[in-house]
C-alpha cells in the first residue's frame, strides 16, 4: 500500500492539493460575495417601503412642527424612495447587460447616503423644538434597527447611519434641545452598537480562513 501511494505521488505535483483548496476557497468566497451583492440590490424595494412606513409613523407620533416643514421633509423622503425604486429597476436592467453589478451597488449605496442626510434633516424639520430624550432616540433608532435586520451590506448601512446621526446631533446643538448632551451620547452609543452588529452580521470570511477551516 505504501509503495502504491509513492507511485501516485510521483505523478502529482507536490502543491496540487493546496492549489486546489486555494482555488475552491476563492470560488466559494466570490460566490458568497455575489450572492450578498444580489440580496443587497434586491433589498431596495424593501427599503423604499420601510422608509415610507417610518416617515408616516414619525408624522403620527410627532406633531410639533408646521405643515410646511412636514411637507418639506416628506418631499425629501419621497425623493429618496423614488431613487431606491429607480435603483431596483436598474438592477433588473443590469442582469441583462454587461454592466457590472458592483457599479449598480455603488449607486445604491449613494442613495442610502442621501437617505441618511434626508432622515437626519427630519430632526430640524419634524421634531418639536423641545423634544424629549425618548423622542430623539426613537427617531434615530427606528430606521437604524430596521435596516440592520435586513440590509446585507455594511457599507450601505454605514453610509446611512453616519450622516443620519451627524445631522441629528447637529440639530440637537443648533436647535438647543433641552437634553442635547444626553441625546448626543445616546445616539453615539446606539450608532456604535448598530454598526458593530451589522459588521459582525455581514462580514465575509477571508479565502485563507475558508481553506484552513
pLDDT tens digit string along 174-192? 998 999 999 999 999 999 9
130-153 mean pLDDT = 90
Whole-number pLDDT of residue 210:
43
**Would the pLDDT of 99 be above 80?**
no
Per-residue pLDDT for 52 more than 50?
Answer: yes
Contact 151, 43 (CB under 8 A): yes
Per-residue pLDDT band at 209 (split at 50, 70, 90) = very low
Question: How far, in Å, are 104, 149, 185, 187 from residue 91 at the CA level?
Answer: 7, 22, 38, 33
CA dist 138 and 183 (Å) reads 11
Could you please report the per-residue DSSP string of 67-122? Answer: HHHHHHHHHHHHHHHHHHHHHHHHHHHHTTSSS-HHHHHHHHHHHHHHHHHHHHHH
pLDDT at 152: 87
Give Cα 151 to chain centroid, integer Å: 5
DSSP letters for 33-52 = HHHHHHHHHHTHHHHHHHHH
Q: Average pLDDT in the 79-95 region? A: 82
pLDDT for res 189? 95
pLDDT band of residue 65 (cuts 50, 70, 90) is low
Q: What is the DSSP letter of 178?
A: T
5: pLDDT strictly greater than 80 = no
Residue 167 pLDDT > 90, yes or no? yes
pLDDT of residue 61: 82
Residue 130, classed as helix, strand or coil, is: coil
| Per-residue pLDDT band at 80 (split at 50, 70, 90) | very high
pLDDT class of 42 with cuts at 50, 70, 90: confident
Q: Average pLDDT, whole number, for the chain?
A: 80
Say whether pLDDT at 12 is over 70.
no
**How large a percentage of the chain has pLDDT more than 70?**
73
165's grid cell: 446621526
pLDDT at position 54 is 94
User: How far is C-alpha 51 from the chain's CA centre?
Assistant: 13
Q: Find cell 438647543 and name the residue.
A: 176
Percentage of the residues of the chain whose pLDDT score is greater than 90: 46
Q: Per-residue pLDDT for 112 more than 50?
A: yes
Amino acid at each position: 500500500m505504501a509503495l502504491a501511494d509513492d507511485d501516485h505521488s510521483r505523478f502529482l505535483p507536490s502543491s496540487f492539493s493546496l492549489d486546489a483548496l486555494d482555488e475552491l476557497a476563492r470560488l466559494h468566497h466570490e460566490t458568497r460575495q455575489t450572492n450578498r451583492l444580489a440580496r443587497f440590490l434586491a433589498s431596495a424595494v424593501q427599503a423604499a417601503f420601510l422608509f415610507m412606513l417610518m416617515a408616516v409613523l414619525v408624522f403620527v407620533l410627532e406633531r410639533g412642527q408646521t405643515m410646511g416643514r412636514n411637507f418639506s421633509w416628506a418631499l425629501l423622503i419621497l425623493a429618496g424612495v423614488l431613487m431606491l425604486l429607480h435603483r431596483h429597476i436598474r438592477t433588473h436592467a443590469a442582469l441583462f447587460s454587461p454592466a457590472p453589478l458592483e457599479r449598480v451597488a455603488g449607486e445604491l449605496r449613494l442613495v442610502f447616503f442621501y437617505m441618511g442626510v434626508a432622515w437626519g434633516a427630519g430632526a430640524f424639520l419634524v421634531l418639536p423644538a423641545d423634544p424629549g430624550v425618548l423622542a430623539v432616540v426613537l427617531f434615530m433608532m427606528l430606521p437604524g434597527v430596521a435596516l440592520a435586520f435586513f440590509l446585507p451590506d455594511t457599507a450601505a448601512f454605514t453610509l446611512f447611519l453616519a450622516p443620519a446621526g451627524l445631522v441629528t446631533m447637529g440639530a440637537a446643538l443648533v436647535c438647543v434641545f433641552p437634553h442635547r448632551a444626553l441625546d448626543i451620547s445616546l445616539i453615539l452609543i446606539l450608532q456604535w452598537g448598530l454598526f458593530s452588529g451589522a459588521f459582525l452580521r455581514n462580514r465575509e470570511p477571508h479565502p485563507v480562513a475558508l481553506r484552513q477551516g
